[in-house]
Structure 1
């Protein structure tokens, strides 16, 4: 169930960085900040801010940008992350140009195909323009220019990441230090929601009815009725219906109550109960818990270690005065999230 997953800002950044890459648009005289001698233009910044806004709305369900996240507003947080992302990608683009990294004909062809695909998906060039304008607040031509440099910076990054060669011993050490990431639980559940279609809590009497309904379903489960059939008949978690209500996950991926029940050390196959979360009442059925063997994840860990090494390299670049950042406070402060 998508709404059960807890997304953190770090995860958002990983997705955004992989998607966005670096940008550099020359025909915009306004700028939000300078990285060394290079400008982060208003257009570039809007691109990153639009990306962050989309991520937060769809993964953390933030719609009120004046709401507090820690000691700052959601808008302040989004703007800070957008600026940091823009800085890192400006550095990548500067490094790419310094190292004479260029797109070859096949990469240019692939990029053009991606633009054609957006037009095909939206239905027309006009609709593509409208979609980009709505999400990022920039024009279609600006978007194309930005995305070309995205590919350029991504190519540079891939080359740098490929220079790192973690050993098997380093990968094993990472595995041993992060075993929670490889401790997986598999459970099935039936959700009886206590939220309305707008995501608001139902009245207390309706929530009480949901609880009683969950208790009735639990009795059916205990009597041996087919769980998958009960999922199809009753569950409000439409995302998992076709899988019989089943999820496999590691710690930190689900809401606390759901996770605590699943990872209880006394939990055994066949255990069933009702767990209440902010989403409603979950009729739970425990399937199994297992450690993923090191050999099964060694290659993915090596990839993680390469990315960590690249992050360290990025941090070293940030310490170089060539890539220091200076905000254009007036322009930065004038940009708001609608």
Structure 2
């Protein structure tokens, strides 16, 4: 799903430049993030944080999901890890019910991260952020694993072996090390890694089982909440109030542009061809399509634009200029419909699964009394 979009152009042949889309759309960080159907613990905390604070999750043996990259070669990382920190082996850094996460466990995960940084030295604040994210990931895995075991979830030896081979292949690519080199470098064993992999696989299997959403569930939700899928189609003409770098124009220049927009609105209200006016005057890539923005739902537009267009009848032009942070808009509503279930099914299943995941994590955090110690 696009993070920023003004309209669902899958239902229209029209397309809008990505740089322009951001101008009108509300941030999907306001509760509309959709999770992927394929669940992994690496994404669980990102899902739960709603992308407002991005949680950086590191996989079991230290392969990072973020774009740090290892560009210096294995010898640089081995000889000169610019960042290093020792953790007291028996110190308790977090608890999940009666289970403690110790300094030794945290060390096993942080050292590969420091290695991958190569010459880049992390600040104390960055180290603290990574530690918290790591512990957040570890406690999430642990609580899901404990709940999974209480529900008799198991994985086979073959599944563990396959995951181990995949992990080691990734390590070889990311660290430039063979399996035995990696284990020696970070004082790990094959059994240790396999036990952690088993725990993660069981946790993921449980998460997938209890948060699965069927097509029937999605259809029931669609039928009971039809108004959520009402959408309108609209066109607009934009007169910008920002320069090419996105900086706001002076008050005098804005006043001139507003006057220009008012004149265009008069022409549109006088029943001049709206599409032709958009092609002639609109400072927006949609001008090539006569200002057409396709279909969109409530919540897809900035508030002032949305309030205007949803108040209109079909083929009606809004009586006033609508101002947003990007300029003055002349707005016309050109159609309305309910999005079909088939069009919405994939996103709806993802959204409902996300809701289940969020609820499950909240419930388990309370049940197991998760604590990350300072």
Match for residue 286 of structure 1 among 321, 333, 342: 333
Alpha carbons of 1:216 and 1:87: their partners in 2 closer, same or farther (altered >3 Å)? farther
Partner Cα distance (2:55, 2:205) in 1: 14
1:80-99 mapped onto 2 (5 Å cutoff) = 89-94=137-142, 95=144
Partner of 1:305: 352
Alignment of 1:210-221 (within 5 A): 210-221=257-268
1:104 corresponds to 2:163:
yes
1:218 is displaced (CA, Å) by: 3.0
Q: Aligned partners of 2:279, 2:61: CA distance in 1, in Å?
A: 51
Aligned to 1:269: 315
What is the aligned length?
258
Cα distance in 2, alignment partners of residues 174 and 20 from structure 1? 30
2:259 partner SS: helix
Please give the secondary structure, in 2, of the residue aligned with 1:269. Answer: coil
Residue 10 in structure 1 maps to residue 31 in structure 2: yes
Q: Shift of the alpha carbon at 1:178?
A: 3.9
| Corresponding residue number in structure 2 for 1:53 | none
RMSD of Structure 2 on Structure 1 (CA): 4.8
SS in 2 for 1:286: strand
Of 187-196 and 161-170, deviating more is: 161-170
- Is 1:194 equivalent to 2:279 in the alignment? no
Is the 8 Å Cα contact of residues 185 and 263 (structure 1) preserved in structure 2? yes
Aligned to 2:101: 38
Contact preservation (8 Å) 1:35, 1:325: yes
Worse-superposed segment, 292-301 or 277-286: 292-301
Can you give the 5+ residue segments of structure 1 that lack an aligned partner in the other structure? Answer: 48-80, 117-124, 126-148, 329-338
Contact in 2 for aligned 1:188/1:287 (Cα 8 Å): yes
Aligned counterpart, 1:324:
370
User: Aligned pair in 2 of structure 1 residues 302, 193: CA closer, same or farther (>3 Å)?
Assistant: same
SS at match of 1:252: coil
Equivalent pair of 2:309/2:332 in contact (CA under 8 Å) = no
Contact residue 180 and residue 251 of structure 1 kept, 8 A: no
| Cα distance in 1, alignment partners of residues 172 and 313 from structure 2 | 51
Instruction: Name which of 170, 186, 206 aligns with 2:253.
Output: 206
Q: Structure 1 residues 182, 110: CA separation in 2 closer, same or farther (over 3 Å shift)? A: farther
Question: Matches of 1:190 and 1:306 in 2, distance apart?
Answer: 38
**Does the CA contact (< 8 Å) of 1:187 and 1:285 recur in 2?**
yes
Which of 299, 304, 307 is the equivalent residue of 1:260? 307
Q: CA deviation at 1:318?
A: 0.7
- Counterpart Cα distance in 1 of 2:362 and 2:164: 32
Cα drift, residue 288 of structure 1: 1.0
Q: Quickly say closer, same or farther: Cα 1:256–1:158, change in 2 above 3 A.
A: farther
Cα deviation, 1:44-64, whole Å, max 9, x if unaligned, reads 8xx9xxxxxxxxxxxxxxxxx
> Could you list the runs of 5+ residues in structure 2 that have no partner in the other structure?
1-20, 37-42, 48-53, 63-83, 114-128, 177-195
TM-score (norm 2): 0.52
SS in 2 for 1:215: helix
Residues 216 and 298 (structure 1), Cα distance of their counterparts in 2 relative to 1, 3 Å cut = same
Q: Give the deviation of 1:168 after TM superposition.
A: 6.0
C-alpha distance 272-9 of structure 1, shift in aligned 2 (>3 A): closer
Report how far residue 96 of structure 1 moved: 6.2
Q: Residues 28 and 41 of structure 1 are in contact (CA less than 8 Å); yes or no, is this contact kept in structure 2?
A: no
